[in-house]
């Protein structure tokens, strides 16, 4: 059985529907473990004091902000190539979640930056490219809501998502060129020597897993809602037609 069989909306709903509450509880549990562990049971870093603990929100949300856009890109491609409605609706469902993640990353970063860098905001490349990513999310969502015909909206937003991805990537490197920043480089990677001690790394990993689970649960839930919304609209339209044209 191929993965494409889940492109049938009914099968998608039947399969993912029961998962959603489980995923919600699981992500809540994992997040609770990760955050409590991170906030209360890790030592304070010598240079940063207790403010370092905001990374348990900041890093996972930043991670998901980018991954949400990547997921939208893949879903848009699937919609453009194979015309599966579930895929287009999943892209639509992911956008507000990704936008909120971007906002969380920006706000927690500002809260951390105030005591550490002495400023809420700096035109640092990473901060700036996140702000630009936020603007891309805004434009994408605005285009979805502006077009009444759902198929047309799915097509146009998919095209925007493809073009926007290229330009978002380009902006990322353009702002690097434009200003050397305050933000530290990537301190987590799989292939290099870790420069974050294990005491911080493990709870951070738990928090990341929690955010991934939360994202998956929210996207599945919202996709299901979109599918039902569309079904209701179709039923209403059918009812209207039945009224106006008596059989």
Partner 1 sequence: MRAVLGRDLRLAVRAGGGFGLGLAFFLIVVVLVPFGVGPETEILSRIAPGILWVAALLAALLSLDRIFALDHEDGSLPLLATAPLPLEGLALAKALAHWLTTGLPLVVAAPILGVLLHLSGPGMLWLLVSLAIGTPALSLIGTFGAALTVGLRRGGLLLSLIVLPLYVPVLIFGAEAARRGADGLSVATPLLLLGGIGLGCAALLPFAAAAALRVTLR
Any contact of residue 138 with partner 1 (CB under 8 A)?
A: yes
Q: 114 with 145: CB under 8 angstroms?
A: no
Q: What are phi and psi of 162, to 5 degrees?
A: -65, -50
Helix (H, G, I), strand (E, B) or coil at 184: coil
Any contact of residue 147 with partner 1 (CB under 8 A)?
A: yes
Any contact of residue 4 with partner 1 (CB under 8 A)?
A: no
Part in contact with partner 1 (CB under 8 A); list of ranges 19-27, 96-104, 154-162, 231-239? 154-162
Q: 26 with 213: CB under 8 angstroms?
A: yes
Give me the residues paired with residue 49 across strands: 45
Part in contact with partner 1 (CB under 8 A); list of ranges 32-40, 98-106, 161-169, 211-219? 161-169
Residue 107: CB minimum distance to partner 1, A: 20
CA dist 11 and 20 (Å) reads 15
* Helix runs in 118-197, H state only: 125-146, 150-178
Any contact of residue 175 with partner 1 (CB under 8 A)?
A: yes
Residue 141: CB minimum distance to partner 1, A: 10
The torsion region of residue 44 among left (phi > 0), alpha (psi -120 to 50) and beta comes to beta
Any contact of residue 142 with partner 1 (CB under 8 A)?
A: yes
Any contact of residue 143 with partner 1 (CB under 8 A)?
A: yes
Residues of this chain that interact with partner 1 (CB under 8 A) are 132, 135-136, 138-139, 142-143, 146-147, 152, 155-156, 159-160, 162-164, 166-168, 170-171, 174-175, 177-178
């Amino acid at each position: 059985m191929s993965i494409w069989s889940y492109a049938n909306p009914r099968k998608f709903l039947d399969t993912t529907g029961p998962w959603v509450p489980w995923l919600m509880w699981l992500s809540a549990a994992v997040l609770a473990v990760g955050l409590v562990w991170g906030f209360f049971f890790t030592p304070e870093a010598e240079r940063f004091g207790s403010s370092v603990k905001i990374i348990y929100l900041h890093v996972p949300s930043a991670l998901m902000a980018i991954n949400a856009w990547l997921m939208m890109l893949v879903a848009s491609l699937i919609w453009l190539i194979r015309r599966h409605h579930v895929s287009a609706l999943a892209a639509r469902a992911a956008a507000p979640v990704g936008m909120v993640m971007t906002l969380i990353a920006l706000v927690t970063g500002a809260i951390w930056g105030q005591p550490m860098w002495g400023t809420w905001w700096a035109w640092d490349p990473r901060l700036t490219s996140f702000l630009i990513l936020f603007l891309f999310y805004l434009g994408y969502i605005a285009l979805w809501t502006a077009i009444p015909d759902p198929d047309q909206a799915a097509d146009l937003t998919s095209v925007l998502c493809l073009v926007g991805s290229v330009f978002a990537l380009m902006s990322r490197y353009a702002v690097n060129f434009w200003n050397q920043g305050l933000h530290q480089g990537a301190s987590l990677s799989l292939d290099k020597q870790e420069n974050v001690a294990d005491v911080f790394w493990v709870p951070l990993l738990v928090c990341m897993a929690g955010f991934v689970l939360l994202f998956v649960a929210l996207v599945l839930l919202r996709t299901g809602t979109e599918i039902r919304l569309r079904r209701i609209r179709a039923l209403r339209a059918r009812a209207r037609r039945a009224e106006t044209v008596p059989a």
